[in-house]
Amino acid sequence: MPLSMMREGEKSRIKKVGGKEETRRFLETLGFVVGGFVTVVSAMEGNIIVNVKDSRVAIGRNMANKIIV
């Protein structure tokens, strides 16, 4: 399922990072790599704040839809 469908406090392993090559590289630099874990901190008004690789990252719902967990 896409990262955008996860609930607050839920932790999951990243299975796939989709999108164009440029988008995938950008997400990987933020820490969204296949096999890594991601936890949703909060989700509001289309933005999602997550913990990934010991960092908090805010991404939009469109980007979150490209990350499959």
Fold assignment, 3-68: SH3 type barrels. (2.30.30)
Amino acid, res. 43: A
pLDDT of residue 45: 84
Query: What pTM did the predictor assign?
Result: 0.88
pLDDT of residue 48: 95
| DSSP sequence for 44-60 | ETTEEEEEETTEEEEEE
pLDDT of residue 46: 84
pLDDT of residue 57: 94
- pLDDT per residue as tens digits for the range 4-58: 999 999 999 999 999 999 999 999 999 999 999 999 999 988 899 999 998 999 9
